[in-house]
Structure 1
Amino acid sequence: MKFFSCWIAAVTCLLMLAASPPAFSSTPSTLSTATTSAALADLYAHRAWTAAQGAPTQIQAITQTLDGWLWISTPTGLYRFDGVRFERHDAINGNALRSSIVLPLHTAPDGTLWVGYRFGGSSAFLGNRVRHYGAEQGFPPGATHSFTVSPDGVTWVTTAGGLAWLDSRQDRWVRVGIEAGFAPAATIYQVLFDRAGTQWISSARKVYYRRKGEARFQVASPADIELTSLAAAPDGTVWVSNGSDAHYRLSTAKATTTRPPKPELPGSGMWFDRQGAMWLMSETHVERVAPGDLGQVGDPRQQLAYDRGLSGMNPQTFYEDRDGTIWVGTVAGLDQFRPNRVAPLPPAARNLPAIVTPALAAADQGQGQGLVWVSDDARSWLTGRDGVRHGPAGPAFWSSARGRDGRLWLGGWGGIWRAGDAQRTMIAAPMFEGRADARVNALTEDADGVLWAAFLNQPLQRRDPASGRWDAPYPGLPPARIMALLADSKNRLWVGYQGGRLALIDNGAVRLVETGNGEGIGNVLAIVERSGQLWVAGERGVARLVETARGTQAAALRLAALRLADGLELRGVSGLTTSANGDLWLRTHAGVVRIGADQVQAFVRNGAAAPVHAELLGSEDGVGGNVQPTGPFPAIVAASDGVLWVSGTGGAMLVNPDAIGRDTMPPAVDIRSVSSDGKARALGSPLTLPSGTNNVHIAFTAQSLAAPQRARFRYRLQGFDDSWQDAGDRREAFYTNLPPGAYRFQVIAANRDGVWNTAGATIELVIPPTFVQSLLFKALCALVLLAVVVLAWRWRLAQVARLIEARHMERLHERERIARALHDTFLQEAQGTVLMMHTAMAQIPPSLPARAAMERGIGYIEQAMIEGRDEVMGLRSSARADEPLEAALHRYGERLAAGLPPGFRMQVRGTPRQLAPLVKDEVFAIGREAICNAFRHAEATEIELDLEYTSGGLTMLVSDNGKGMPADAMQRGESGHWGLVGMRERADSIGATLDVGNREGGGASLRLTLPRQHGAH
């Protein structure tokens, strides 16, 4: 059992390792600029995941598919990794695995993902398709150990029971056996093709080889020992491991001795990366051996053990992804070794410590290509990027300046000297307080060969080249400490101060420029002129000096602050330089910031109108330590070969702008899960969520293995918010109170180099409405609301009608009171007066003129009494409130017909309806007047009244067979008790129309039409 467990945990995992990785193109690395003496921790950023971080354990094999996802096989299942989370998968693109116990993984050049199973068989996944292979397809029996694609594109497989290759035309596996000289009679582990095209096959007891073009296999040396995984070195050497503690160099020569062979290297597994470095595994650690240093195995600086950060014991599985990142699987987790983009300057000797916060100054071209002066607190050396120091050490320097002749000045304690002079001549510092050992904080030389220097806590000093004397020609300058000096291309002198002030000396005139200590760049740390642009760097940022011409006056000066996009800030900018292609490089507290030449040009062109995009190289890229602003020296310089040297508390570091590998492939984006109201939903597009869903949580990711913290996401939910939401590095989106409807969620992502996958991933979401959210419910609510409005309107109408009726009854009562009052007072008094006048008139002889006058007066009074009675009768003749209209009109007409000659006939058609009291009274008054006029003036024998109720309203027709109406009476109306004018006014008041005219057969007619909406209920 113990042997079986070890075989599973070690040997099988090694076999999975041996499968060749996908043939991704290799990009040059900054590491190639350093020597092999740099420690593993300096060359690679290491990170480990264990079960505590969700990582799987007992990792068998690792591969990367063409879309960038990392796939990991374990005894507990297949996992996918995006740099942040491990996700177990029982299916790939909807196609289920045949077993959860998977062993080898391999990505073929065409993108096919091969998966082998512990209990035999394999599956090939490509896109949305899958092909399963078993015994019926000729697949060899036993546990599957490895897949390999030969240079000619043929897929090979090794299992516990055989070796086979895939005949793609027949889609069948062809077994290799005794006919090819291959009869191991043991477990077969791995197939390897070396650089010469020779095929090597390892088995439990021996290794077979077959040269390119040959048909039969031969046995390599050594033999008759346990041999498992194979590795091909860049020099063509093929190595084999026993899977435990030894590596052997394979040979095609026959073994000449029967004694056990002596292993040449220790370790349980071997791998060569694309840079040619060897990676060795042992039970306790991982070790990297640089190309050409195979004899230096055992260097502890190149090792990482489990007790110093490795995820676990028994590192068994190696894989190099397309970005050059090394992945190691152990029994307890997963380890990542990511090449740093910034490499430390290798020390001249392994026992020589790095210089803390070194001063840097690029050497003259004549002193050597790519050399830089490096200084600590005591000495300085001319150094190459290989760490080798050239020539004798010089004094320590704190400042430097390029002279007009191109040679370098260095300044330190007590004076200034030419860099690299064989006979060093010191220009002594002036005397301050009786001492001549002041430190040169800043230094520059103008076009006239005049040296300007800022000594520690002293005024600006000028050295006359003729007399060699120092003086302070500008006592009016600010008394603050001088931090930076620059003589620009126009031979103007710029002075930067502590406290955020900037002084310009031009032809002897001094001008002060405020940098904005509160909101500007703060304490000035560097002044640099590049490509005609003047840059000022400080504690709080960087600004470009902008000069605006003013005719004959001095140009106006202002600082245009450089603002960065993507949430980056510029703090503590202690160095600024440019590379050959125009990129702007800054040394900040956060690391090294690169601003592309196109962004710099846009900044200059637009006058700082918009923020610029930048790239940050930070601690995860190998920038070690911080910047201590203890010295005025620039913290970043460009050597003559284009390599950038960076100063830090951990020593000097190197950045090769031309050798930084960029990830140009957009990251694959995937929607991981969708949940609503706290419950996970099965993914599908469209995905229908439950009715009444109140909140939606969508988790997404993108493959960003190298630097997942730098991945950037944007998402939007079309149908709710069509604008893009910037999520930064957050990998989830939340929505609350979504109304029902159809939505389309889209997420896009960018990798650490800003390459966006604009297609991203999408999912359709549908939220059905609940009953109360449905159109039916809304229609019902609208109908209910309409019914309520109608009922309220009718209630209000009835209320108004009752009010009108009450007021009308009040008016009727008032009219009856007035009628009684007129009858009881005016008419009675007038009647008594007439009687007295008749008595008096009887006593006047008829012959007297007074009698005639009396008779006329009595006639006038009697006429007035008649008219008064008519008015009183008009006041009292309205229909009773409880009497229907047709009954009131019929009663009135019958009463007149009883005392006057014409006959009266009335007809009612339709179903009588109750009218509003006021409307009823006005219609009765109009009908009464029409009937009365017909009886009085028509000279008719028959008078008819036709009252018709219809759905549209009420029609009242009064007609006679009399003499008709004169034309002028129809036009102007005829004076009378009411008259036509009064009837029309009454009709208008209730919204009715009145038509008056003569009939064709003789007689007159009056038609009143009352619409239903105006009171004809």
Structure 2
Amino acid sequence: MRMKRRFPRCPPALSAALLAAALLFPVPALDPSKPPAQYSQALWQSKDGLPDNFVQALLETRDGYLWLGTSEGLVRFDGTQFAVFDTRNTPALRHNSVIALCEDRTGALWIGTSGGGITIYRNGRFTQTYGTADGLPNEYIRSIYEDRSGAIWITAHAGGLVRFSGGRFEVLTKRDGLPSDSLRTVYQDARGGLWIGADEDGICVMRGRAIECFGNDSGLRSRQIRALYEDRRGRLWVGTRAGGLHVFNGRRFEPVTGIGGVAVRAIVEDRHGNLWVGTEGAGLWRIHEERITRLTPREGLPHSFVRAMIEDREGNLWLGTRGGLFRLRDKKVETWTTTEGLVNDDVRVLMADPAGRVWFGTRAGVSLLESGRVRAIRLSPEWSRDVVRTLARTPDGLVWIGADTGLFRWRNGAVERVRLGLPGEPAAVRVLFADRAGRLWIGFWDRVFLHERGRTTDQTARFGRPLTGINAMTEDGSGTLWIGTEEGLFALKAASAHRFTSRDGLSHDRVTSLYADRNGTLWIGTRGGLTRMKNGQFAAFYRRNGLLSDNILHVSEDQQGHLWLTSRRGVMRIRKQELEEFAERPSGMLRTVTFDTSDGMRSAECNGGEQPAGTMTADGRMWFPTVAGAVVFDPKSLRDIPPPPRVVIERVLSQGRAWPAAAGPVDVGTGLGDLEIQFTAISLGAPERVRFRYRLDGYDQEWVESGGRRSAYYTNLPPGQYRFRAIAYANDGSWPREEASVEVRLAPRFYQTVWFSLMCGGTVLLLAWGAYRARMISIHRRYQAVLEERTRIAREIHDTLMQGVTGVALQLEAATRRLPEEPLEAKSRMQRALAKLDEVVAEARRTILELRKPDALETDPAEAIREMAERMSQEHGVRVEVWIEGQKRALEPRVCTQLAKIAREAAANAIRHSGASRVKLVLRYESRTVRLLTSDDGRGFDPAQPAGAHFGLTGMQERARELGGKVEIHSRPGSGTDVEVIVPAGRSN
């Protein structure tokens, strides 16, 4: 198999950049001073998503992904999830057993399989597959390697050595000077020599065209070569199947003693200079400065067969074993528990003294770490009740211990109880503090005492009010004593005391910790955040500003200028200068580095609100108490601010289809606008800490916080071109400027196109115009109907009431003239006027009935016309004749009514205006029409110039038009007048 360097086959420029980054940001690698069993271990197996537990090949590509070759497919790992590629979902893969992996200088991934040749993966796609038809001697690949010139070297089963360059394969065999056609591995040393390990025939090196071979006579204990590697000192290491590990001294191969004749399958050197050796059946070995240590299944290794190894750019060591994927990672934290000798794992307080000792106050007494050994200090016979809450040391070397069972003093290796001799002396001591003058301040729940020169005095009255829940004490450079309580912060100087609360700017009234730095700034931990007091001004910092938690249990400072804060959720570290700058100009987020169980803490829950809940030893290491032991950090070995993880947008999904984002702009075609965009951040060390935010330009107005979720979902997106952007951070609370992005194009469906919108808009306008026209026509018809009704009413009034009233008026006028001379005639005229008036009323009733119930009228016009003719003859003394011609039949009521009224109007006009002595009315029934002819012997008129102010002719014409008929007038002056009305007959209902 092929071994890989720390940065496999990187171009020189990229290697230089990575080296510079490593110098700027020291990566926590595997500390050689620790036994391998003390490293943090992690294991992934089939139950976690691997297709098979036998990992045969490992490679970290330049984009940060970890690639695995297994017997059941190719696997890509981002630290959180596995993506499996096999023959079922990847047609380009011809076989599932992946044996070899190599990334060339162009970024293409070469995948060697056992029976399926070589497949190339480039820019998110499997682009091509090479087999025997392309020049490979067979398709059973064993190793793939790229040299400095860019040539690819391949070993295949019994197929010699294959060189790929310029797009073609060239095969070298035993006839070309190789020791065998059955070769196993290839490696190029720093001087350009290409080393080739054979299955059964030793090793050779190619320098130009010259080939030099080595066998047992060169020191090799086995000619079965399985692994080659050159370390940073230029030493070539050779792993054999039955002869163990060898190192080349320039002339011969020297066996490495201490390992024996194990089968070596993998070799890699980490950045600390540890040489790691993976074996077949003997576990993992580490060689550092001639010291050899071992990790076996007994110490946590999942299987004794280690097939592949690689160190990633974060300093993690990855092992491919028969028992799964295994990771070794140096713990950032060291833990002290009962396993190391503490009396109890629940450590409450910690204190380092000038002698280099560390004191542990626990729930069950005191432990003392001295000269690397831990011993217990019992406070009382009932040590299980000795809950230690505070520790202090006075300049005279005395160590004071405050517990729930009272006050104790350690002197000359012995512990004694201290009785203060106070009336009603409380038992539980909450806080002890030694000031610069060497005096000991003692805090109980609600009282403060000063112990000086063997004398104890109550100082509570100096505060001017009762104290509640004393949690912390400290002294600043001016000599002011600060006391943190459950009800605020108190400052005691000389004879004056002052209280500060949240009204003054404290983040919370419940003060849990106090730290006065050398610059005179007071840092205050509270239940509601961190507060800085500087020059009498308060500035508060909260979780929303980047803190891990608002419940700050302890505040202290290391030698590098960082503040360390503890909480129930873990430990925080922040540059103090950054806090100072934020206090002056609050903006953005604080870059907070956090530590929890993923860094090796057995529990993230720290203890605090007691003093001292943290300490720094002389070597600069920071110690903090937790509910599961004491944790220790070495700030010198920690990076200041770790670089953010690299964000990768993996693919875009829509309507059951997927597009790789690496291929460039993604055209998803037409659809419903439903998208899923999958992204990740490659963090192989602590992926659980990665947090994301994303934004779809053109749709999202603000960044969307997704937490640890690695997918974005959108529904009903309108068609258009969008840019999806994603960023991530892992451990510092700040969002980096670097981001990953991909363009996504959604094509419109036909109903989403511009032309369809224009068409719909035009249709809407046409419909609106049509609705408007229909509305106007309706309004016009309504007004026309009203107008016609008014005209009809006017016509009825003219033809009935006006004429009747006019007749009555004429009779009355005649009666008035004859009354003096002919009273009887006048009386007769008046009686006729009354009779006429009755007729007018009856006619009005008939007209109203016609308007309301036209069907109730008569259907025979002849009878109505005869009655009208008789009345007119009597009233006007003019002979009015009525002739009926044709077959008389019933007509529609409206036809009958209108004909009768036309006849009456025609006769009235003849009598009134023409001076006729005779009027003839002829009603003629025809098959389809009814004709009404009115003739008189009057003086006639010119039809082209009718009399102006009379409505008679107009009314007749309107009535005829209503019936669908017409009026014809024939007249000339001196010759009488003929008025003919022709209307459709219609039928009676």
TM-score over 0.5 for the alignment?
yes
Percent identical pairs in the alignment equals 20
Q: How does 1:706-855 map to 2 (within 5 A)?
A: 706-736=685-715, 738=716, 740-744=718-722, 746-753=724-731, 754-755=735-736, 757-770=738-751, 774-775=756-757, 776=759, 779-780=762-763, 783-784=766-767, 786-814=769-797, 819-820=802-803, 822-824=805-807, 828-830=811-813, 832-833=815-816
- The 5 Å alignment of 1:859-870 reads none
Say whether the 8 Å CA contact 1:401–1:408 is kept in structure 2: no
The reply on whether 1:537 has 2:535 as its aligned counterpart is: no
2:44 corresponds to which of 38, 42, 48? 48
Q: Which residue of 2 aligns with 1:471?
A: 457
What does the per-residue CA deviation read over 1:171-203, in whole Å, with 9 as the maximum and x for residues that have no partner?
5566666698x5322521123356787654321
State the SS of the aligned residue for 1:111. coil
SS in 2 for 1:801: helix
> Where do residues 15-34 of structure 1 align in structure 2 (5 Å cutoff)?
15=2, 21-22=8-9, 25=19, 26=22
What displacement does 1:212 show?
8.0
Which whole-Å CA distance do the structure 2 matches of 1:656 and 1:933 have between them?
122
2:521/2:534 contact within 8 Å kept: no
Structure-2 change in CA distance of 1:378 and 1:544 (3 Å)? closer
Q: Distance in 1 between matches of 2:675 and 2:30?
A: 50
Distance in 1 (alpha carbons) for counterparts of 2:544 and 2:798? 91
Q: Which residue of 1 aligns with 2:667?
A: 687
Residue number among 594, 601, 605 corresponding to 1:616 in the alignment: 594
**What SS does the aligned partner of 1:378 have?**
strand
Structure 1 position 63 matched with structure 2 position 63: no
Aligned equivalent of 2:431, options 433, 442, 464? 442
Q: Which residue of 1 aligns with 2:471?
A: 483
Instruction: Verify: 1:183 aligned to 2:178, yes or no.
Output: yes
Residues 261 and 412 of structure 1, relative CA distance in 2, 3 Å threshold = closer
CA pair 759-629 structure 1, distance change in 2 beyond 3 A: closer
Helix, strand or coil: the match of 1:340? Answer: coil
Encode CA deviations 1:304-325: one digit per residue, 9 max, x unaligned: 24xxxx3x67442222222122
Which residue identity does 2:598 align to in structure 1? Answer: E
Tell me what 1:647 maps to: 625
**Partner residue in 1 for 2:314:** 323
Kept in 2: contact 1:221–1:252 (CA 8 A): no
User: Is the alpha carbon distance of 1:733 and 1:665 closer, same or farther for their aligned partners in structure 2, counting shifts above 3 Å?
Assistant: closer
1:218-367 to structure 2, matched below 5 A, reads: 218-219=213-214, 220-232=218-230, 238-243=236-241, 246-248=244-246, 264=260, 266=262, 268-271=264-267, 272-281=269-278, 286-287=283-284, 289=286, 291-292=288-289, 294-297=291-294, 303-305=299-301, 310=302, 314-331=305-322, 333-344=324-335, 357=347, 359-364=349-354
User: How far, CA to CA, are the matches of 1:436 and 1:197 in structure 2?
Assistant: 82
C-alpha separation in 2, matches of 1:548 and 1:232: 60
Q: Which sits farther off after the overlay, 469-478 or 123-132?
A: 123-132
Counterpart contact for 1:49–1:333, Cα < 8 Å? yes
Q: Letter of the aligned partner of 2:806 in structure 1? A: H
In the alignment, which residue of structure 1 is the partner of 2:544? 564
- 1:910-943 Cα offsets, whole Å, 9 max, x none, are xxxxxxxxxxxxxxxxxx99986799xxxxxxxx
The one-letter amino acid paired with 1:222 is L
Q: State the distance in 2 between where 1:128 and 1:390 align.
A: 56
* Per-residue Cα deviation, 1:84-127 (whole angstroms, up to 9, x for no partner): 33223479xx9956766542112245534333343485466665
Contact preservation (8 Å) 2:407, 2:417: yes
**Is the Cα contact below 8 Å between 1:574 and 1:634 reproduced in 2?**
no
Show structure 2 runs of 5+ residues with no match.
Answer: 11-17, 380-385, 824-846, 848-893, 916-942, 951-989
- CA 1:332–1:382 in 2, change beyond 3 Å: closer, same or farther? closer
Q: Specify whether residues 112 and 571 from structure 1 end up closer, same or farther in structure 2 by C-alpha distance, changes over 3 A only.
A: same
Pair 1:353–1:157, CA change in 2 (3 A): farther
Shift of 1:460: 0.8
Counterparts of 1:119-138 in structure 2, within 5 Å, are 119=115, 122=118
Amino acid at match of 2:496: A
2:666–2:743 contact (8 Å) kept in structure 1: no
CA gap of 1:232–1:645, structure 2 versus 1, over 3 A, is farther
Q: Which residue in 2 is equivalent to 1:201?
A: 196
Q: Is the 8 A contact 2:480 2:493 kept in 1?
A: yes
Of residues 541, 557, 568, the one that matches 1:578 is 557
Q: Is the 8 A contact 2:566 2:606 kept in 1?
A: no
Determine the structure 2 residue equivalent to 1:504. Answer: 491
Which residue is equivalent to 1:113? 109
1:492 pairs with 471, 480, 499, which one? 480
| Contact 2:49–2:82 (CA under 8 A) maintained in structure 1 | no
Separation (CA, whole Å) in 2 of partners of 1:793 and 1:54: 76
* Offset at residue 471 of structure 1 (A): 0.6
Kept in 1, the 8 Å contact 2:571–2:604? The answer is no
Q: CA RMSD in A?
A: 5.7
- Equivalent-residue separation in structure 2 for 1:585 and 1:355 (angstroms): 22
Contact 2:196 2:204 in 1 (8 A): yes
Deviation at 1:210? 4.4
* Paired residue type of 1:146: S
Structure 1 unmatched ranges of 5 or more = 1-13, 550-556, 841-875, 901-927, 936-1017
- 1:827 to partner: Cα distance: 5.5
Counterpart in the other structure of 1:104: 100
Contact 1:51-1:332 within 8 A present in 2 as well: no
1:316 is paired with a residue whose SS is: strand
- The equivalent position to 1:659 in structure 2, one of 629, 633, 637, is 637
Task: Give distance in 2, aligned partners of 1:408 and 1:521.
Answer: 36
**Deviation at residue 412 of structure 1 after TM alignment:** 1.3
Measure how far apart 1:748 and its partner are.
0.9
> What are the residue-to-residue correspondences of 1:917-932 with 2, within 5 Å?
none
When structure 1 is superposed on structure 2, of 779-788 and 665-674 the one drifting more is 779-788
Counterpart Cα distance in 2 of 1:453 and 1:427: 18
Aligned to 1:616, the other structure's residue is in SS state strand
* Deviations 1:570-619, CA, capped at 9 Å, x for gaps: 15532222345544321122211233446523441246x87645332221
Distance 1:200 1:436 in 2: 82
Distance 1:138 1:646, change over 3 A: farther
- Which residue identity lines up with residue 802 of structure 2 in the other structure? A
Distance 2:811 2:225 in 1: 148
The aligned counterpart of 1:587 is 566
Deviation sequence 1:846-869 (CA, Å, 0-9, x none): xxxxxxxxxxxxxxxxxxxxxxxx
- Aligned-pair CA distance for 1:64: 1.8
Partner amino acid, structure 2, of 1:732: S
In structure 1, give the amino acid aligned to 2:530. A
1:527 paired residue number: 514
Q: From the superposition, tell whether residues 256 and 809 of structure 1 become closer, same or farther in structure 2 (CA, over 3 Å).
A: closer
| 8 Å CA contact retained: 2:297, 2:304 | no
1:88 is aligned to 2:84: yes
Most deviating of 813-822 and 717-726: 813-822
Classify the secondary structure of the residue corresponding to 1:791: helix
**Structure 2 contact 224–242 (Cα < 8 Å) conserved:** no
